[in-house]
Structure 1
Amino acid sequence: MDYIQIAFSFTSIQEYQKDLLIAELADIGFDTFEDTTTGFDAFMIANQFNESALNEVLMGFGDELQYTYLINEIEPQNWNEEWEKNFSPLIINEDCYVRATFHEQQPQYQYEIVIDPKMAFGTGHHQTTTMMMQYILEIEVQDKVVLDMGAGTGILGILAAKRGAKEIIAIDNDEVCYRSAIENAALNNITNLTSLCGSKEAIPAVDFDLILANINRNILLDQIASYAAVLKNKGTILFSGFYEEPDLEMIRIHCGDFGLTYVDHKKIGDWVAARFLTI
């Protein structure tokens, strides 16, 4: 599957303007953003790209921004090479070591996760994944039944398994991610992770103790009802993939409609991860 890269360059841009632009790009399907020396790059699956929608977003800023952008189609082979060049080992909370297959082992860490990212998102480097992993390391996971929505590489489910989760269902609507989660589970000798290809309709009729959803605001708002329907009493949901303003309050209010209570949240840069419980 090919990806579209929009490489933005700005004459000048304020941080709040950048945040607003990224938020609106996320609303039309862009799901990964990387800072560059002149601006940032935005990525999405090629067959979901709509240039008219992009132009509508940009027109909404009028003359506030002075920018240029280039549209590049990234083939899977080139994407993989880019991951290899930029994927450095990562340490989370001082006791979880994330590495690629081409890095050396570091057995001194309590949890070591091996990720072959291919084209799937989720290596721990993005702030949202980092915060979700921090939560998983901090909460009780032993013997829990876990749902990982928007699983990407499967890294969150793999960490949950290493922390003693009983069963993990990992779901992603991208076939590359579906296969990647299977392969990465095998790399980490995880045998209790099941990877499914689909969206909320693929959620099985299982009572989950813990739900992980690192996606984006609009998808989360659409799927919260589905999550609440399969979450046990006193179950936990961890959300990420959105901003503190205005996204967190929107999600908090919507969760309240389905009996989910806000507990706390983490923030790195402009990104947020939040914890909710059923009463």
Structure 2
Amino acid sequence: MPWLQIKIKTNPENSEPYEDLLLSAGCAAVTFEDSEDQPIFEPDLGTTPLWSNTTITGLFSAELKLEETLRYIKFGHAQLFPDMPEPSIKAEILEDKDWEREWMESYHPMQFGERLWVCPSWRDVPDPSAVNLMLDPGLAFGTGTHPTTALCLQWLDQQELSDQFIIDYGCGSGILGIAGLLLGAEKAIGVDIDIQALQATKENLKRNNLPDDILHVYLPENAPDQPADLLIANILSGPLIELAPTLAALVKSNGKICLSGLLAAQEEGIREVYSKWFELDEVSEHEGWIRITGVKRS
């Protein structure tokens, strides 16, 4: 079934009244978008900030009469904001698609480094002789398409991982921990605050025909404190700084750490904190995102 999409450009202060207006007009769903490519990174906990120029989109059944719906919205605007001119309103028909299938068809195998490929579980592998990680991210973060994940996968491909114990902190889909295992690590732990991420990691472990006992997953409060030979944390700068003592304690002397989820402008703050425990390497950058690696001092 096709849908009618109505978009209203506004500001954060008026977003909630417009949301209520769209819902009262019969809207099935409301979304908020940035009108001017203004990123918001790492909002404060418990907040849902909006952009200074926000587009509110209401999704309606195409059976609704467009002219009547637009009249209702304009009348509601006049009641809510009598001293304000009408906002920019755009209406269009959204063709009916199987959006999950659309995404699946656009997600292709990707190579990272010399050995490693990440392949959607529903596609054939391009190189059967390579290290092929079969992945279905489900509802968890981590497909390899984001620059921070790509940076971590490229680094893992360069490491000698035989007999290593690794920790994937903020494991998401499990992509990094499972990649480490396929590249030769002996065992791994995945840690995440999201139950869905832990489930996705376990499912992707099975998808790659790896034994259940080679990778265990935990919520942070339940994770063991055994130090690893190598720890990867692809999260955000705020949590990385807050968790620095915890993450440092989870790395053996002379063990390695890989930190990502970072913007180039955040390098100095991360270096200042982690240099207390680690000899840090030069950063690697990709599309404005960076990876910081290092070795823990004895």
TM-score norm. by structure 2 comes to 0.70
Alignment coverage as a number of residue pairs: 229
| CA contact 2:109–2:125 (8 Å) conserved in 1 | no
Write out aligned runs for 1:183-222 (5 A): 183-191=203-211, 192-199=213-220, 201-222=221-242
Change (3 A) 1:5 1:89: farther
| CA contact 1:206–1:230 (8 Å) conserved in 2 | yes
Question: What is the CA–CA distance in structure 2 between the aligned matches of 1:223 and 1:82, rounded to whole Å?
Answer: 38
Output the amino acid matched with 1:249: E
Deviation at 1:278, TM superposition (A): 0.7
Residue by residue over 1:28-67, the C-alpha shift from the partner in whole angstroms, topping out at 9 and shown as x without a partner, is: 36xxxxxxxxxxxxxxxxxx6x33xx04xx46xxxxxxx3
Change (3 A) 1:94 1:166: closer
Given candidates 257, 260, 280, the residue that maps to 1:240 is 260
Structure 1 spans left out of the alignment, 5+ residues = 30-47, 60-66
Residue 69 of structure 1 corresponds to: 55
Q: Does 1:9 align with 2:28?
A: no
Change (3 A) 1:249 1:185: same
Residue 78 of structure 2 corresponds to: none
Residue by residue over 1:65-87, the C-alpha shift from the partner in whole angstroms, topping out at 9 and shown as x without a partner, is: xx3233789xxxx9855642442
Question: What is the CA–CA distance in structure 1 between the aligned matches of 2:289 and 2:256, rounded to whole Å?
Answer: 20
Q: Does 1:269 align with 2:287?
A: yes
RMSD of Structure 2 on Structure 1 (CA): 2.4
% identical aligned pairs:
25
Residue 274 of structure 2 corresponds to: 255
Output the amino acid matched with 2:219: G
Change (3 A) 1:6 1:275: farther
Q: Does 1:171 align with 2:191?
A: yes
Residue 102 of structure 1 corresponds to: 122
Change (3 A) 1:83 1:133: same
| CA contact 1:174–1:197 (8 Å) conserved in 2 | no
Structure 2 spans left out of the alignment, 5+ residues = 1-29, 60-97
Output the amino acid matched with 2:43: D
SS at structure 2 position matched to 1:264? coil
Deviation at 1:262, TM superposition (A): 1.1
- The structure having more radius of gyration, on CA atoms, is 2
Output the amino acid matched with 2:130: Q
Deviation at 1:228, TM superposition (A): 1.1
Q: Does 1:22 align with 2:45?
A: no
Output the amino acid matched with 2:34: F
| CA contact 1:149–1:212 (8 Å) conserved in 2 | yes
Question: What is the CA–CA distance in structure 1 between the aligned matches of 2:139 and 2:104, rounded to whole Å?
Answer: 11
Question: What is the CA–CA distance in structure 2 between the aligned matches of 1:72 and 1:141, rounded to whole Å?
Answer: 50
Write out aligned runs for 1:50-129 (5 A): 50-51=47-48, 54-55=49-50, 58=51, 67-70=53-56, 83-129=103-149
Q: Does 1:181 align with 2:201?
A: yes
Question: What is the CA–CA distance in structure 2 between the aligned matches of 1:69 and 1:133, rounded to whole Å?
Answer: 35
Question: What is the CA–CA distance in structure 2 between the aligned matches of 1:137 and 1:28, rounded to whole Å?
Answer: 34
Output the amino acid matched with 1:204: P
Change (3 A) 1:82 1:224: farther
TM-score norm. by structure 1 comes to 0.75
| CA contact 2:165–2:230 (8 Å) conserved in 1 | yes
